Structures are given as structure tokens and as C-alpha cells.
Structure 1
Amino acid sequence: MGDTLKAAHRTMWASGDYPSLASEVIPDLGAALVRAAGVRAGERVLDIAAGSGNAAIAAALAGADVVASDLTPELLQAGRDDAARRGAKLEWKEADAEALPFGDGDFDTVLSCVGIMFAPRHQVSADEMVRVCRPGGTVGLLNWTPEGFIGQMFATMKPYAPPPPEGAQPPPLWGRPEHVEALLGDRVTDVRFEKRTVRVERFGKPEEFRDYFKARYGPTIAVYNRLAGDTEKVAALDLALTELARGHDVGTSSLVMEWEYLIATACRR
């Protein structure tokens, strides 16, 4: 993948306000991954595609020696600010998940919370994740499933989005156990999977969810930007996203959704 695609990814994730979305809608996912991976004080931990540090900050607050890496400088700066407010000390480093600037086996635990799934070449980023984990160390992943709400949101947006670059794979594939197993291969043992849901009660009605993601979530913003000026397609996507949220509503008086994700942990051979 060339520099043009990487630049486009940086621009996409810098648009809107992903840090506020992560803190307001899914604030506890990073800590859930840190617990599942058994992160302990004193361990050296890498968070790949860390964004604004949902998992990295939780690991640092657990006493680990943490490096948060991400392709997008704006997200890292938001993470630095949040870490300072919360009294967490860790290192922030601009880095591509497909070409990590770390040595083989540098980390005791390597994590990614709804991050590495957005790197276009899954096998390349998985290889890097395993490479930088020491033998006997832990690999921990938390990703949206294809069948869950966010996976279905990407499926809903797909007809309106540009075709993916050659060699790129859909992000929600990382939410399938068999896909993760194939990516990690025989380089790991003790692979464990658990599907969970996060309860989202941030929005009063489906239209509020739609407008919130249109304003804050980079992938959604990018699709709407592509449709700019085509009022018919914008209206169709507006309706599709609204109906998606309505179809996942388990509440009564206000919108309540359960978003499914997969936690995967494994031991590096």
C-alpha cells in the first residue's frame, strides 16, 4: 500500500472527533481488553492503532510500561491530553501498523482495541503484531464482529463508499475467530475467543446516532463526503443508517443498542 493510501487514512481518522466518540460511546472497551489480556504492572505493552489511547491508557493505569502507536498524529495528541488529565504516564509514537518501528520480541503484551482491524492488509499487520511480541508473551485483540452493529454499519455504507484499494480487506473480518486464527497461524498457542456486547445508551433516538456518527466518525464522514452534492444518495444513506439503529434498538423510551465485539487472546510461541 502506497503513501497516498496511508495519507488518506490519516486524513479520515483526523476528521470529525473520534476521541470524543471513544470516550462517550465506548469508554470501557480498552479496559475490558486490558483485563482479558491479563496486563500486569511492570510489563512492557504496545497498543497498535491506539487512536487516542482507549486501551493504552487503561494499561498504563494498571502499572504497565506502555507505548501507544498510531498512524494519525491528531489522535495521539488527543491521547496525550487525556492521559495527562487522568494521571497516566506512557509513550506516544506515530507508527504504521503494517510497518512497526520496533524490534522483534520487544514487548511482553501487544494489544489492539478496534484499531488494527482498519489497517488494509490484515496479514501484514498481524505479522507485525506477532513479530514484536516476545516468546511467551500475550497478543490481545478486541474487534467489532461482522454480524454486530458496527459490522452491519459498514455493510450498510459499502454501496455508497468507493471500492477498496487492491489487496485491502474489510475491517470486520477481524471479528471472526476463524479469520484471526488464520492470521496468527501456528506462531501462537492457547488462542481464546469470547464474543461480548457493549451497551450503548448515548442516543435518544436513531436519528441522533446517525447525526453523531456523521459528525464524528471518520469512516462515516468519508462516505458522506464522497456523496456531497448527490442529495438522493445522501437521503438514502441517512435513511439506511437510521433504520439500522432502529432495528438494533432494545430499549423502550429511548434508543438502547447492544454492539457485539470479539475478544481474542493468544500466547506467542
Structure 2
Amino acid sequence: MTTTDSALKAKHRALWALGDYPAVATDLIPSLGPILVAATGIGPGQRVLDVAAGTGNVAIPAALAGADVVASDLTPELLQVGEKRAAEQGARLAWEEADAEHLPYRAGEFDVVVSCVGVMFAPMHQLAADELIRVTRPGGSIGLIAWTPEGFIGQLFATMKPYVAPPPPGAQPPPLWGSEAHVAALFGDRVSGVVTEKRSVVISGFPTGAAFRDYWKGIYGPTIAAYRGLADDPERTAALDQEMAALGDKYLINGAMEWEYLLYTASVV
């Protein structure tokens, strides 16, 4: 890994340690993990890897389903929270720090490899996709959940894009993983039996777009980082405030938002 790569990884590691992502996983999207476990048919006797596992939204229910699970993530602070939560639920699994673009596992080591709104944030999509394929045994399964470009979270990243520093050369926007065509291009002919479905998770508890914005500003790492980068520019800060609130209002219908995601499963050839 080059010095530039190491610096980028350190930045990403720190980014996801900001705020309180564990609260996002627990309070807003806890249903996504069990959905991915069910979609991939995880059960006893299977060796499972959760890539960019965070606090274990998929890994913990997979372990409770009887699988032999490794939860891997770049950010140790998230793994520590996940390990505590697993213990509270009686789930036994391994928690290991790992980079999705350079996984420290043998080729074909796992029966099922999954990631829930996780691997999509690895900046070099092809590297990450190649690693998912490499560590899955032939005939094994890959299962992914990713926010779509057209959905709320995809549009949120598009809203923030003009206010943050440009990504490094070669990096691609995270919500592209929510595009069937993009994922098809990443995996190519190395998978078969592809099944994709666009679904939505319903988010309630925010009466206005401004209320969502204020919550997100304090809890979600990428948004916290965006605002920190604007700390010396009150005009741009106010503009981002306005755009985020307007986006929230656009998606709020009868007191709830729908956040669209792509559910993807396939078998490795």
C-alpha cells in the first residue's frame, strides 16, 4: 500500500469514527441486517464474512442464525461497539479490523460474503468488488445492500458533493453501488444467478427536513466532516443547511421518509 493509500485509509477510518454511527445502525436501519441474512439464506454450517460490518447489523443476526461469522471493518471503534452488542445478544463471532479493498483472507475462504451499506463506501469500487469475489468460494454467495443514487441517501450525497473536497483520483461515488448496471460491470461474468430488487426502509421521527438535518449534522460522519470543512465559511454553511433541509422536506411524506436501497444477491462462478 502506498503512502497516499495509507493516508486515505486513515482519513476514512477517522471519518466513520466521528459522531455516532452506531446509533444510526440501531435506531434507523436495524431491519436491513436481517433482510440480508434472509436474502442470502445464511444458516448453520456456513462460514460468513461481513465486509465493512460497522457494528454488526448483518454479522450479529448471521451469527444468531448459526453461521460461523467474521465481522470486518476499517474502523476499530465501530467493531468495539459491535462486539459489546453481540455479547449482549448472546452472539458469538469474530471481530477483525480489515480494509475492504485489501481483505486479509484466503481465496475462497467464505461460503457467503455480505455487506450492508458498507462496502459501498470503499473509494475504489473495482478493488473492493474484486476482493468480494476473491474471498468467496466458487458456488458461494454474495449479498449486498446499497443506497441507490436516486434515493434519499444518494441524493443527500449529491447535495453535499459541491461542499466537500474532491475525491482522490479513481474514487467513485458510494451510491453507484445501488445501480444494477454499475454492480454488473464490477462483477462481470464472475457471478451468476443475479437477483436485484429495489426496496425502501421507512424512517420516521423527523417532523421537518430541518430536524433531520440537525440530527444528521451531529451523528453521521460524512456530514460532520462536510460541515467541519466549512467552519470558516458561514455563507456556504448556511447554503448547505438550506439545501439539506429542503431535501429532507422533499422526502418527508406524512411524517416519514422512504430511503431506497438495492438488494443484490448472486453466486460466484
- Report TM bin, short chain: over 0.9
Alpha-carbon offset, residue 15 of structure 1:
0.5
Alignment match, 1:47: 50
Amino acid in structure 1 at the alignment position of 2:20: D
Alignment match, 2:210: 207
1:91 matched to 2:80: no
Amino acid in structure 1 at the alignment position of 2:180: P
Alignment match, 2:201: 198
Distance 2:48 2:205 in 1: 31
1:185-209 deviation per Cα after TM superposition (whole angstroms, max 9, x unaligned): 1111001100000000132322221
Which stretches of structure 1, 4 residues or more, deviate above 3 A after TM superposition? Answer: none
Alpha-carbon offset, residue 117 of structure 1:
0.3
Alpha-carbon offset, residue 169 of structure 1:
0.4
TM (normalized to structure 1)?
0.97
TM (normalized to structure 2)?
0.97
Alpha-carbon offset, residue 181 of structure 1:
0.6
Distance 2:87 2:124 in 1: 33
Alpha-carbon offset, residue 128 of structure 1:
0.3
Match among 232, 236, 246 for residue 233 of structure 1: 236
Alignment match, 1:267: 267
1:107 matched to 2:126: no
Q: Secondary structure at the match of 2:240?
A: helix
Q: Secondary structure at the match of 2:167?
A: coil
Distance 2:20 2:50 in 1: 20
8 Å Cα contact 2:46/2:67 also seen in 1: yes
Q: Report % sequence identity.
A: 61
Pairing of 1:73-84 with structure 2 (within 5 A): 73-84=76-87
Alignment match, 1:219: 222
8 Å Cα contact 2:208/2:252 also seen in 1: no
Amino acid in structure 1 at the alignment position of 2:256: V
Amino acid in structure 2 at the alignment position of 1:256: A
Pairing of 1:97-246 with structure 2 (within 5 A): 97-246=100-249
Distance 2:241 2:61 in 1: 35
8 Å Cα contact 1:25/1:202 also seen in 2: no
1:53-103 deviation per Cα after TM superposition (whole angstroms, max 9, x unaligned): 111111111111100000000000010111111111110000000000000
Distance 1:82 1:150 in 2: 26
Distance 2:57 2:119 in 1: 13
Q: Secondary structure at the match of 2:92?
A: coil
Gaps of 5+ in 1: none
1:151-204 deviation per Cα after TM superposition (whole angstroms, max 9, x unaligned): 000000001010000110000000000111111111110011000000001323
Match among 63, 67, 86 for residue 64 of structure 1: 67
1:12 matched to 2:19: no
Gaps of 5+ in 2: none
Amino acid in structure 1 at the alignment position of 2:258: E
8 Å Cα contact 2:63/2:91 also seen in 1: yes
- For this pair of structures, how many residues does the alignment match? 266
Distance 1:34 1:179 in 2: 23
8 Å Cα contact 1:53/1:68 also seen in 2: yes
Alignment match, 2:26: 23
Amino acid in structure 1 at the alignment position of 2:267: C
Amino acid in structure 1 at the alignment position of 2:211: E
